[in-house]
Amino acid sequence: MELNTKIFADGAELADIARLCKNPVIRGFTTNPTLMRKAGVTDYEQFARAAIELVGERPISLEVFSDEFDDMERQARRIATWGSKVYVKIPVTNTRREPADALVQRLSEAGVKLNVTAIMTLDQVKRVAARLANGVPGIISIFAGRIADTGVDPLPIMRSAVELVRPHPSIEIIWASPRELLNVVQASDIGCHIITVTSDILAKLELLGRDLGEYSLATVKMFHTDAVSAGFKL
């Protein structure tokens, strides 16, 4: 199946990044402090520089972790010096719900490529797009999976976001936190620029376009094989 969206791998295991770098389907990489903590990362810069070296010419997004805008800016400018393909992830607000708009505009206009993250509303998309419009290439990450977790269909939001940034070719939309392979197809159908995928969804990519009749038969065979292997009797 031909996809109209770029697939970025999301994770923080250097071994996985090295393996995925050999896969031409993977066009870029993202990570965040939560994934890094789960992976046991203790030295932020050491991990980041190793990941940047592994991904080579592919873009990679690395997130600031301060909650104060002045310190976010210091971290962002430092991270940006580590490679020309680095995008610095800035949260749409800090933990006090103060918008990062001014910081986003200042950094973007100063030449720092940004990935503005944790976005879930169209109002946030509009505000951030306005701040990125006159700067270097930037990314808006919309957490579609988390939107869906609340019982809200993220598709209309994602479709509207893609249309909102259409006048700004330097801005790309990420479909972040997908929950199933279908999300990859949905992102492609609406022309979403990028979707981030974890290893469990990546493992299902080979199922794209599979004949459903054949898939049904394979499922029946799996159930039968497992029942025989278990030695079930009635």
75 and 64 Cβ atoms separated by less than 8 Å:
yes
- What is the average pLDDT across 153-181? 97
- pLDDT value at position 119? 98
Q: Shortest CA distance to 192 belongs to which of 211, 165, 173?
A: 173
Do the domain assignments include residue 227?
no
pLDDT at 8 over 90: yes
- Tell me the average pLDDT of the chain: 96
Q: What share of the chain is helix, strand, coil (3-state, %, to 5)?
A: 45, 20, 35
Spell out the residues 6+ positions from residue 146 whose beta carbon is closer than 8 angstroms to its own: 120, 177
Domain assignment of residue 15, yes or no: yes
Residue 231 lies in a domain: no
CATH code where residue 76 lies: 3.20.20.70
Q: Is residue 217 part of a domain?
A: no
**Token code pair at residue 125:** 């998309």
Least confident of 26-30, 119-123, 196-200: 196-200
Instruction: Give residue 166's pLDDT.
Output: 97
pLDDT in tens, 17-35: 999 999 999 999 999 999 9
Is residue 151 assigned to a domain?
yes
Using pLDDT thresholds of 50, 70 and 90, give the confidence band for residue 2. Answer: confident
pLDDT of 199 reads 86
Q: Which residue from 36, 32, 82, 26 is spatially nearest to 58, judged by alpha carbons?
A: 26
Average of pLDDT values for 144-162? Answer: 98
What single-letter amino acid sits at 64?
Answer: V
- pLDDT tens-digit map of 32-82: 999 999 999 999 999 999 999 999 999 999 999 999 999 999 999 999 999
Does residue 232 fall inside a structural domain? no
Instruction: Give domain status of residue 214, yes or no.
Output: no
Q: What is the mean pLDDT of residues 202-217?
A: 94
Does pTM surpass 0.85? Answer: yes
Higher pLDDT, 115 or 199: 115
Given a cut of 80, whether residue 1 has pLDDT beyond it is: no
Residue 215 lies in a domain: no
**Average pLDDT of span 181-193:** 97
Catalytically annotated residues: 89
Range of the domain at 190: 6-208
- What is the tally of structural domains in the chain? 1
Mean pLDDT of 86-98: 98
